[in-house]
């Protein structure tokens, strides 16, 4: 199949597919006589796997590890479990940071009853050093 068909099946832009080839996440496509890339059903499966990993914000280096681990069907899942656990911790940390950010912005948004910039409590607060 051609890259446009692959893009449709995997819900990835052509440019992203080429990028994944360039960095080695996907094997280089075979070329037919006219120079067009030709892809297989294995490429579809791998790209869907990669897309799902990226949706979970798993870094590319870790995706490479997950792809490599899949080669040995009888190996332990410990490395996979560890990578997912690390990603979960990153997400939890991000949630905590975003929660704090939301609270700070809410405080600012509700801190100014004034009508003119010269008396704006939000701007005064932003000009102060935080404790």
Per-residue model confidence as pLDDT tens digits over 79-129: 999 999 999 999 999 999 999 999 999 999 998 888 888 889 899 899 987
**Closest by alpha carbon to 44, among 1, 3, 6, 5?**
6
The structural domains of the chain, with segments of one domain joined by +, span 1-74, 76-131
Query: Measured between alpha carbons, how far is 18 from 76 in angstroms, rounded to an integer?
Result: 32
Q: What are the tens digits of pLDDT across the range 11-61?
A: 999 999 999 999 999 998 888 888 888 999 999 999 999 999 999 999 999
Q: What's the pTM value of the predicted model, to 2 decimals? A: 0.80
- Report the Cα–Cα distance between both ends of the chain, in Å, rounded: 59
**CATH number of the structural domain 1-74:** 1.10.1660.10
**What's residue 131's pLDDT?**
58
Q: For residues 120 and 9, what is the distance between their CA atoms, to the nearest angstrom?
A: 53
- H or E element, residue 114: none
Residue 33, pLDDT score: 86
């Amino acid at each position: 199949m051609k890259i446009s068909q692959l893009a449709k099946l995997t819900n990835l832009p052509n440019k992203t597919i080429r990028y994944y080839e360039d960095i080695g996440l996907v094997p280089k496509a075979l070329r037919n006589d006219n120079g067009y890339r030709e892809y297989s059903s294995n490429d579809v499966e791998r790209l869907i796997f990669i897309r799902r990993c990226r949706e979970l914000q798993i870094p590319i280096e870790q995706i490479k590890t997950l792809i490599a681990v899949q080669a040995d069907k009888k190996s332990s899942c410990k490395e996979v479990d560890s990578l997912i656990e690390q990603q979960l911790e990153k997400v939890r940390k991000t949630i905590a940071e975003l929660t704090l950010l939301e609270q700070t912005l809410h405080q600012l948004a509700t801190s100014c009853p004034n009508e003119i910039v010269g008396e704006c409590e939000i701007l005064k607060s932003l000009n102060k050093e935080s404790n």
